[in-house]
Amino acid sequence: MRDEKSIERLLEIFVTSVCIAEQYSVALKNAYKDAGYRVEMEAFTQSLRREGDVSFSDSLREIRKHTARVARVITFYELDRLPVDALDLPSLSEAIPVLHASIIRAFANANVPFRDAFREKVTSATDSRRFERYFDPGTAPCLDAFRRVQENTACPFAPPARLWGAPTYDATQSVRENLRNCLPILSSFTRVAQREVLDGFVFAFPVQVFGGDVADLSRLLKTFISFLMANDPAGPRTIVRDEVLSPDWHFSFAGEDYFVNVLSPRYGNDHTRYTHGVRDYVFVVLQPDASFHARIPTERSEETRRNIREAFENIYQGYEHQNLEAHRFILPASHADTSVAWYDAEEYAEVIGGYTMPPDVE
């Protein structure tokens, strides 16, 4: 037996989980394929028709179990509360397709056409605007600005990259105040990226505020790195020059190593950090090591790096490989220039509504 309220609740769960997948940059089509399900809705529902004598109440119990599992994953991502079953906890890419399959199977057991009910639900006037998030880093405005870079760079991994972005920079606040507002989102990104294989977190800093030449970028990056290190949930620390210049130094945040990629409109179109016509922003992109390891097998890492350098050289954007990790964050304007010592730059000082140089007021 089934009732209309239960059917309505199942639709609520399905639609909400689709919105959750969107918010956490879960590619549902790929997730369905990885789970062994058909991607097309019609084929998906047909493949999950009534199976044996499973009752509707049994189906509901199965759905409760899968819904609770999704909820535990979200609790971990948002609140950093490690569940008891953390080691066995799936990613949302794994958990949501299983939840969807159980819901569609319940509809089949109840003899209710899922496709028609779902279409009516998502097109209704009351539901079409219900699932807006106060700020969704997966659809941050800075990602729209960055898309031109993403689509035109010679890096083959950029176009399909799954990115989150910071809130729009508020010029009425200091750089540290802006970064402080990003800390919870960046912490959540770190947890999500390790399980959902996200590829980068984008910050967009206005050129009108910060400038864009190498000296400007150095001051900005020194302030940026210093603030994140001082507010690292894995343990606060400071920039130590000798450590930064060691061969094994990597920038890390919340237990994840990140490569820091700085792009500026001041670089010419023959430079790898060219912004492809975006003139208003300097981009700082944090790329988690977890993404590199997931996308590039260890045995192919050198070959992949060589192929990427050749791709840039083919569009006249060749570059000299910097030996130290820190020297790869900001590249010099010309290959003939020395490595950029951003770690020696003076930080921006904190004042209400802006900043001063040198940083003598905190």
Spans of all domains in the chain: 4-123, 137-356
DSSP secondary structure, 213-279, as one string? SHHHHHHHHHHHHHHHHHT-TT------HHHHTSTT--EEETTEEEEEEEE-TTS-TTSTT--TT--
Q: Give the relative orientation of helices 92-109 and 175-196 as an angle to the nearest 10 degrees.
A: 60
Provide CB contacts within 8 A for 187, sequence distance 6+: 80, 233, 253, 254
Q: Which amino acid is at 51?
A: E
Q: What is the pLDDT of residue 44?
A: 58
249 within 8 A of 325, measured Cβ to Cβ: yes
pLDDT, tens digit only, all 362 positions of the chain: 457 888 888 999 998 899 899 888 898 888 888 888 865 655 555 555 545 456 778 888 899 999 999 998 988 888 766 665 566 788 999 999 999 989 988 888 888 888 888 888 777 645 545 545 568 899 999 999 999 999 887 676 677 789 999 999 998 888 999 999 999 999 999 999 988 889 999 999 999 999 999 999 999 999 999 999 999 999 999 999 999 999 999 999 999 999 999 999 999 888 889 999 999 999 999 999 888 666 665 655 565 555 545 554 544 444 556 788 999 999 998 878 899 999 999 998 765 444 544 443 34
Tokens for 344?
A: 């020696």
Q: What is the pLDDT of residue 302?
A: 63
pLDDT in tens, 307-347: 545 554 544 444 556 788 999 999 998 878 899 999 999 99
Tokens for 144?
A: 């729209």
Q: How much of the chain exceeds pLDDT 70, in percent?
A: 77
E strand or H helix at 203, and its extent?
Answer: strand 200-206
Q: What is the pLDDT of residue 284?
A: 98
Q: What is the pLDDT of residue 314?
A: 45
Of 201, 291, 186, give the one whose Cα is nearest residue 231.
Answer: 186
Q: What is the pLDDT of residue 323?
A: 80
Q: What is the pLDDT of residue 132?
A: 52
265 within 8 A of 207, measured Cβ to Cβ: yes
